[in-house]
Amino acid sequence: MNDNKMKEISIEKITVNIGVGEAGQKLENARILLERLTNRKVVTTKAKIRNPVFKIKKGDPIGAKVTLRKQDAREFLKKALDAVDSKISERYFDKLGNFSFGVPEYIDFPGAKYDPKIGIIGFDVCVTLKRKGFRIKKRRRAKAKVGKKHLLSRDEAIQFVKNNFKIELS
């Protein structure tokens, strides 16, 4: 490993998402499920565009999500990886080192019990990785680009997840 502290990789955030496509009881069940799994406040996601095929108008509530950071994110990721037997595909990683995977049924998640009111719902876990110094692209004053040498690569992210979370790539 490199001795340069600026090159250390960490988890910026984890976004847990359930998309149901419509308002009503399904959306309420998704909100309840996310609150139980994360113990955090759930945010409703809204449609960004109109889609007449699915009868969705711009601004319609279509899903729920929660953002986790720091230690909560790390603990949730360990449980979510247990739910998929610590096996994920290399295809789940993008070129900037972030990755996403889905848990098909919430009852696979450690500590979750089946609730007949909710039924069987799956959810997506999106992990955003970062290095120290990435703040410069998001700050309000004196924004700047992150240099090419400092950006995360796909291979570095895969190695980080392998070393820290003991996953197998398929």
Q: What is the CATH number of the domain that holds 108?
A: 3.30.1440.10
Q: Supply the DSSP symbol for 170.
A: -
Phi first, then psi: what are they for 106, rounded to 5°? -65, -20
The C-alpha atoms of residue 113 and residue 36 are separated, in whole angstroms, by 10
pTM: 0.83
> What total number of domains does the chain contain?
1
Task: DSSP letter for 146, please.
Answer: P
Segments in the chain forming alpha helices (H): 25-38, 70-83, 154-165
pLDDT tens, position by position, for the chain (170 residues)? 568 888 889 999 999 998 887 778 888 888 888 888 888 899 988 888 888 887 888 888 888 999 999 999 999 998 888 888 888 888 989 998 899 998 888 887 888 788 788 888 888 899 999 998 888 888 999 999 988 888 888 999 999 988 888 888 87
Q: Are 140 and 146 in contact (CB under 8 A)?
A: no
Torsion of CA 146, 150, 154, 155, to 10 degrees: 180
Give the domain range for residue 74.
Answer: 5-169
- Residue 2 is predicted with a pLDDT of 65
